[in-house]
Amino acid sequence: MTKPERLSLSVATAELANPWVRSFRADPYGRVIADRHYNRQAVGSAQFVPPGRCLVMLTDAADALWVTSWPLAEYVQHDWAGAWMNSCFRNEGEQLSSDLIRAAVAATLAEWPTPPDLGMVSFVDAGKVRRKRDPGRCYRKAGFKLVGKTKAGLLAFQMLPGEMPEPLACRERQGRLFDWEAA
């Protein structure tokens, strides 16, 4: 599958716009990127997002993918139950990962304006990411803090609501089917 053509934006618009474009849990372009992520459980499966509420975003060039999941706390088995989860982030493009992460958090806030008390959490498997002196560095640069480890040994990074950027909605590729106001 080839990447979609880059959406044309004026320079002025591009500077103000969120780099993310809304996608969906079975987007074929997103699936291709998700298949290359180390936490992918079923490579090739059409859906690449855990069950529950989600916000899936791709960049225009489909070279980065972000998923915010908001699972119901009663189904979560880690210490951050109730938090928004960054269940997938992969950047294969040239944009700084830390910039993409902050923009994704801003887009999540635009989608869900009241963040949970535990904010957003992301888990990093230090043994599966590119070798560097401090795994999760892009999350740290984006404002996340290392807050512990999961029982499986994954590094847990958290951004609390007061540390989050201002909301900035991701862009839409097309109009939303159910966007109307009740009379």
For every residue of 65-88, DSSP letters joined together read EEEEEE--GGG--STTTTSEEEEE
Per-residue confidence in pLDDT tens, the chain, 183 aa: 444 443 333 333 344 589 999 988 778 877 877 765 556 566 666 666 777 889 999 998 889 999 998 877 666 677 788 899 999 898 999 999 999 999 999 999 999 999 999 999 999 888 766 666 788 899 999 999 999 998 888 899 999 999 999 999 999 876 445 544 443
**What's the confidence (pLDDT) of residue 14?**
40
**Local structure of residue 169 (DSSP, 8 states):** P
Buried b (16+ CB within 10 A) or exposed e, 88-99: bbbbeeeeebbe
pTM of the model: 0.79
Q: Which domains does the chain have, with CATH numbers?
A: 11-163 (3.40.630.30)
How many C-beta neighbours within 10 Å does residue 166 have?
7
The predicted pLDDT at position 131 comes to 65
